[in-house]
Structure 1
Amino acid sequence: MYDHCVGLGYHCESTYQIRRVTGVARAHFFDWLDLDFESVVEAVAEDFRPVLRPGLVEPFDEGRCALDRGSDIRFYHEFHPAAGAGTPLTQTDIDAQLPRVRAKFAALAGRWRTLAGSSARVLYVHHDAWDELAAADLRRLRAVIAAQHPGHRFDLHWLRRTAPPDAALLGPGITWGTVAAAPGRWEGDDAAWDAALTPVLALPHDPPGPGSAPPHRPSTKEPL
């Protein structure tokens, strides 16, 4: 019943599984990033301005990734060591590649704004991989998206490893599910993701407001 399904982290598992389940591979801003919940909230609230500011991106995790100190987002796939695979990423590498990476994420931020400003209905999925969040956090995220994009037609789906103890406090427009970890498999458990995500994409939602277009399921042929 949604036009698009967009991931909001936490890391690569959610991107892989959302693309596998929906069959849609078009990139969105938070795809393939390693980031905490607060980074998502801040990026949306600040219209992505804190992300990848010059002078704030540096090698992290023994050179395995680049850490953006302005947004606390970890980029494991966008920067590449000039010395070759298996060598540490250096500050020189990051500085040389930053304009290209900034241009890519500026385009993805524009894609986010275009989608949020359209008549499409969107399901945003946040994977709480360590069961760290509470219902109040999801309500806050929904409020931030709604405030930043008035009129946007969207819901949130909160995925955890275990059922949330405060699910009754989520409020309208937020659902939850569970996806068990798959030890030794970064992609996660396919069957668990199928069970948690596919039924939600097919669920009917509240009746559309006056003049709203009828909702429908995601399509691999639909342009963004």
Structure 2
Amino acid sequence: MYDVCVGLGYHCESTHQLRRVTGAERAHFFDWLDLDLAAVRETIAADFANVLRPGLCEPFSDGACVRDRGSNIRFFHDFRAPDGAPLTPAVIAEQFDAVRAKFSHLATRWRALTASRSRVLYVHQDAFDESGAPELTALHALLRARYPDHAFDLLWLRRTPPPDAAALPPGVLWGTVPLSPGRWEGDDAAWDAALAPLDVPRASGAGRRP
């Protein structure tokens, strides 16, 4: 049985669904962030030192979010402009230290988890079917190399089945969760079905196996 499910992006859908299914609200580093698999790998490889370095954050998407040029992570929820106005460099500068402190704390939590005896299921939602087996294999190898005593598996969720699934190594699982048009939270039933075969912690009545 897995003790913890930890999301690795792509965006808010994965965080919402993992919390809905497991009932766990404890925050992890990649929760609610918008980032691709390359950014996940680079961040883990850098032990989070590439995230939120001073002078590298800028308004992005017409001020709807903040892009960190050092990590290519988009922060949609941590920097807030007053009254729904676009984010500006001045707003970012004012809030930067507090946001950086939050993610420093979450990086410490990540290190503690990977050093613990907990068995973890990492979940990467490949929301745009961008990655292939080589990229997931590289992430799995990175996690194994950085945390050799850590017990974990990696679940790769795509919109469509991966054509190269046979090339995945042991410890990398896959499933599908189709796009739910007009619903950023995603398809509850599809997430339940994707996680049903796995022995993950579950909220009462959420996506249980028959």
Counterpart mapping for 1:53-132 below 5 A: 53-82=53-82, 84-85=83-84, 87-132=85-130
DSSP-derived class of the 1:142 partner: helix
Taking the aligned partners of 1:24 and 1:198, their CA distance within structure 2 comes to 17
Residues 158-210 of structure 1, C-alpha deviations (whole Å, 9 max, x = no match): 0000100111110100100000110000000000000001322x2xxxxxxxx
Taking the aligned partners of 2:22 and 2:197, their CA distance within structure 1 comes to 12
Contact 2:65 2:76 in 1 (8 A): yes
Return the offset for 1:219. Answer: 6.7
Q: Does 1:196 align with 2:179?
A: no
The residue that corresponds to 2:32 in the other structure is 32
Taking the aligned partners of 1:163 and 1:218, their CA distance within structure 2 comes to 25
Q: Does 1:218 align with 2:201?
A: yes
Gaps of 5+ in 1: 203-216
Contact 1:135 1:169 in 2 (8 A): yes
Taking the aligned partners of 1:14 and 1:45, their CA distance within structure 2 comes to 22
Structure 1 length normalisation: TM-score? 0.89
- For 2:171, give the aligned amino acid: G
- Count of aligned pairs: 203
- For 1:159, give the aligned amino acid: L
Taking the aligned partners of 1:175 and 1:64, their CA distance within structure 2 comes to 34
The residue that corresponds to 1:161 in the other structure is 159
DSSP-derived class of the 1:108 partner: helix
Contact 2:5 2:120 in 1 (8 A): yes
Note the aligned Cα RMSD (angstroms). 1.0
Identity of aligned residues (%): 63
Structure 2 length normalisation: TM-score? 0.94
The residue that corresponds to 1:52 in the other structure is 52
The residue that corresponds to 1:18 in the other structure is 18
Taking the aligned partners of 2:4 and 2:148, their CA distance within structure 1 comes to 18
Taking the aligned partners of 1:109 and 1:170, their CA distance within structure 2 comes to 28
Taking the aligned partners of 1:39 and 1:63, their CA distance within structure 2 comes to 21
Taking the aligned partners of 2:202 and 2:126, their CA distance within structure 1 comes to 26
The residue that corresponds to 1:143 in the other structure is 141
The residue that corresponds to 1:211 in the other structure is none
- For 2:35, give the aligned amino acid: L
- For 2:3, give the aligned amino acid: D
